[in-house]
């Protein structure tokens, strides 16, 4: 796999502040190092691509295994649900342009309980262009 120069998620570049905790043939998993979101993680393909639209069939086939590993990783925290998401493109909040899926364990009673992706996609003052 050829790394993209200066991409911090291309492992061969050795730019990560932490080490992958889980891995399979197509993906690795990082736990959050963000002090504001301590219990979260990301599933990241070993092969460089910018968006999930560029993932290969082999990567899509390996994704359920990596999701199962991530769920097992978070099991000791006993989450009541999960929010999974891809930010695709700068306008959607993607800051590292190497495909990655965010995994956020969710809990009953948390301040954002019940706030899912739709709240982000449908703010009250925004109307989609037609």
* Three-class secondary structure of residue 91 per DSSP: helix
Note down pLDDT in tens along the chain; length 130 residues.
778 999 999 999 999 989 999 999 999 999 988 877 889 999 999 999 999 999 999 999 999 999 999 999 999 999 999 999 999 999 999 999 999 999 999 999 988 888 877 665 555 555 556 6
* The pair of three-digit structure tokens given for residue 10, joined into one six-digit string: 């291309």
CB 20 within 8 A of CB 11: yes
User: What pLDDT does 118 receive?
Assistant: 64
Using alpha carbons, select from 65, 59, 47, 37 the residue that is nearest to residue 7: 47
Number of domains, the chain: 1
DSSP state of 37: S
- pTM, full prediction: 0.87
CB 42 within 8 A of CB 67: no
Q: Would you say the C-alpha torsion 35, 123, 42, 93 has a positive or negative sign?
A: negative
Residue 54 lies in a domain: yes
User: What pLDDT does 115 receive?
Assistant: 80
CATH number for position 113: 3.30.428.10
Residue 129 lies in a domain: no
Residue 36 lies in a domain: yes
6 φψ region: left (φ > 0), alpha (ψ -120 to 50), beta (else):
left
Residue 6 lies in a domain: no
**What is the domain range of residue 21?**
11-120
User: What pLDDT does 35 receive?
Assistant: 79
Residue 50 lies in a domain: yes
Residue 34 lies in a domain: yes
User: What pLDDT does 129 receive?
Assistant: 60
Around Cβ 99, how many Cβ atoms within 10 Å? 24
């Amino acid at each position: 796999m050829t790394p993209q120069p200066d991409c911090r998620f291309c492992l061969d570049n050795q730019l990560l502040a932490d080490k992958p905790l889980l891995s399979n043939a197509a993906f690795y998993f990082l736990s959050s190092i963000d002090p504001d979101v301590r219990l979260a993680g990301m599933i990241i393909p070993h092969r460089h691509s910018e968006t999930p639209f560029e993932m290969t069939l082999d990567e899509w086939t390996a994704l359920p295994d990596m999701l199962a590993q991530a769920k097992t990783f978070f099991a000791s925290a006993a989450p009541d649900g999960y929010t999974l998401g891809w930010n695709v493109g700068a306008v959607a909040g993607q800051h590292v342009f190497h495909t990655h899926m965010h995994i956020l364990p969710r809990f009953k009673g948390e301040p954002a309980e019940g706030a899912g992706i739709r709240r982000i996609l449908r703010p009250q003052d925004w109307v989609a262009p037609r």
